[in-house]
């Protein structure tokens, strides 16, 4: 019986029927990179070709030379490792986005074929952007309410100090009088500085530079050098695990520093008796992942739903509650995300996800 690759024509016809029913454009190649299957969505797509023209032919003859050179090493890696590969691409001349999966087909422990699956995610990504925009509006509403409440306290304090100073100005000069004036002056300066810190953080998160990029490993190293003498780090052991040859991330260095500082100090404060802080940077497809992990008690379940809310803090004596909220805003403003990742072994773990520049 005639054969197509290592599939009989009867089985190949059944396979074609199954693949044609799937809502995605896809094709199947064997170990010689010959096309074994090519579904109907692949025929009728923007760059589609009739099935009869491609079946049994080398993929190098079916695709453009540039396209084949781009995917040949990917296919070779899937055949060699048996691990699936995924990427998101925007073809030239098309205002569309596709998620491409290269999936291994395994028989008796050997990868015999690789299925290339193309999924149009343009509408889904547009919906995701709408949801992100909606989330940002909700965040902005929380932020405005929080700023009004947070700034009202130092303003009230400043107003009270001003009244006290006015009354002291009417009294005869004395050592006690001068001492009280100096105390009220210092108190006003402290409250003004507090307002400035809040507004500076908000302005920084509201002005992202879309063209900036940062060396993640170098930025982490610089932040850790700055934090060496921070009181919270006296008993903390710091471990850095940076993947080699990482590309730059799509975020300005100052913003990335602010994110790392917020996560590192939170982790150190969670380990007052000592512990280990681990910062690990890796690349996953078109994203950079920065994991910040500690060996502290972890984030209580009742706190987790609120930890990224503006002005939410468990450190009522010193915390402003802006650290994680501003950090997430900075990262999301660059198309990334900041998420909490529960650890079975205990401790807290946060992952910073950033697009590759």
Cα 331 to Cα 304: distance, rounded to the nearest angstrom? 19
Find the mean pLDDT for residues 49-77.
Answer: 88
Res 210: pLDDT = 62
Q: Considering only residues 210 and 283, tell me which one the structure prediction assigns the higher pLDDT.
A: 283
SS3 content of the chain, % helix, strand, coil (to 5): 45, 25, 30
Q: How many CB atoms lie within 10 A of CB 165?
A: 14
Using 50, 70 and 90 to split pLDDT, how confident is the model at 137? low
Comparing 14-18, 93-97, 105-109, 345-349, which segment has the lowest mean pLDDT?
Answer: 93-97
- Domain 125-206 is found in CATH 1.10.287: yes
Using 50, 70 and 90 to split pLDDT, how confident is the model at 2? very low
CATH topology of domain 216-355: Heat Shock Protein 90 (3.30.565)
Digit-coded pLDDT (tens) for 140-156: 665 566 666 667 777 77
Find the mean pLDDT for residues 73-102.
Answer: 82
Digit-coded pLDDT (tens) for 285-334: 888 999 999 998 888 777 777 777 765 665 544 444 567 877 887 888 78
Using the 8-state DSSP alphabet, how is residue 232 labeled?
G
Decide the pairing of beta strands 287-294 and 349-355. antiparallel
What average pLDDT is seen over the chain? Answer: 79
Res 93: pLDDT = 60
Find the mean pLDDT for residues 29-42.
Answer: 87
pLDDT higher than threshold 90 for residue 79: yes
Res 168: pLDDT = 73
Using 50, 70 and 90 to split pLDDT, how confident is the model at 85? confident
Using 50, 70 and 90 to split pLDDT, how confident is the model at 100? confident
DSSP string, 265-304: HHHHHT-TT-EEEEEEEEEETTEEEEEEEE-SS---TTTG
- Tokens representing 288 are 């950079």
Res 4: pLDDT = 53
> In terms of CATH architecture, what is 3-120?
2-Layer Sandwich (3.30)
Res 317: pLDDT = 45
User: What radius of gyration, in Å, describes the C-alpha atoms of the chain?
Assistant: 29
Q: Which residue has the tokens 């096309």?
A: 35
Res 188: pLDDT = 82
pLDDT higher than threshold 80 for residue 133: no
Digit-coded pLDDT (tens) for 202-250: 665 555 556 678 899 999 998 888 777 777 788 889 999 999 888 999 8
The 3-state DSSP class for residue 58 equals: strand
Where do the domains of the chain lie?
Answer: 3-120, 125-206, 216-355
Q: Considering only residues 120 and 116, tell me which one the structure prediction assigns the higher pLDDT.
A: 116
pTM of the model: 0.46
pLDDT higher than threshold 60 for residue 68: yes
Alpha-carbon 199 to chain mean position: 24
Describe the strand order of the beta sheet including 98-107 as a list of residue ranges. 35-38, 25-30, 110-120, 98-107, 85-89
Q: What is the largest CA-CA distance in the chain?
A: 115
Which of 71-80, 182-191, 207-216 holds the top average pLDDT?
71-80
Find the mean pLDDT for residues 71-78.
Answer: 90
Cα 267 to Cα 298: distance, rounded to the nearest angstrom? 9
Res 1: pLDDT = 41
The 3-state DSSP class for residue 253 equals: helix
Res 204: pLDDT = 58
Using 50, 70 and 90 to split pLDDT, how confident is the model at 34? very high
Res 104: pLDDT = 92
Find the mean pLDDT for residues 38-50.
Answer: 76
Res 135: pLDDT = 57
DSSP string, 37-56: EE-HHHHHSTT---HHHHTT
- Which of 72-78's residues contact partners 24+ apart within 8 Å by CB, and which partners? 72/33, 74/102, 75/29, 75/33, 75/102, 75/114, 78/102, 78/103, 78/104, 78/111, 78/114
């Amino acid at each position: 019986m005639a054969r197509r690759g290592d599939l009989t024509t009867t089985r190949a016809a059944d396979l074609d029927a199954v693949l044609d029913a799937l809502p995605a454009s896809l094709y199947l190649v064997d170990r010689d990179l010959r096309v074994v299957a090519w579904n109907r969505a692949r025929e009728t797509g923007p760059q589609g070709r009739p099935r009869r023209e491609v079946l049994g032919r080398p993929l190098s003859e079916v695709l453009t030379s540039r396209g084949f050179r781009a995917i040949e090493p990917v296919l070779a890696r899937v055949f060699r490792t048996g691990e699936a590969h995924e990427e998101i691409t925007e073809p030239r001349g098309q205002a569309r986005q596709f998620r491409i999966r290269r999936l291994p087909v395994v028989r008796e422990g050997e990868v015999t074929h690789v299925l290339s699956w193309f999924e149009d995610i343009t509408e889904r990504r547009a919906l995701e952007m709408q949801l992100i925009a909606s989330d940002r509006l909700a965040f902005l509403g929380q932020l405005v309410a929080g700023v009004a409440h947070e700034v009202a306290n130092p303003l009230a304090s400043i107003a009270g100090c001003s009244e006290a100073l006015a009354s002291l100005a009417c009294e005869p000069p004395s050592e006690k009088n001068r001492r009280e004036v100096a105390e009220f002056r210092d108190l006003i300066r402290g409250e003004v500085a507090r307002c400035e810190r809040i507004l500076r953080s908000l302005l920084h998160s509201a002005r992202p530079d879309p063209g900036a990029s940062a060396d993640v490993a170098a930025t982490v190293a610089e932040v850790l050098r700055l934090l060496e003498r921070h009181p919270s780090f006296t008993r903390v052991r710091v471990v850095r695990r940076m993947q080699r040859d990482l590309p730059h991330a799509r975020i300005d260095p100052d913003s990335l520093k602010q994110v790392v500082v917020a996560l590192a100090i939170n982790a150190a404060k969670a380990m007052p008796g000592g512990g280990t802080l681990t910062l690990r940077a890796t690349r996953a497809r078109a994203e950079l992942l920065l994991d910040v992990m500690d060996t502290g008690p972890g984030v209580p379940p009742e706190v987790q739903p609120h930890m990224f809310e503006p002005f939410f803090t468990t450190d009522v004596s010193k915390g402003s509650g802006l650290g994680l909220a501003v950090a997430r805003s900075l990262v999301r403003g660059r198309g990334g995300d900041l998420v909490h990742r529960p650890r079975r072994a205990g401790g807290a773990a946060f992952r910073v996800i950033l697009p590759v520049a």
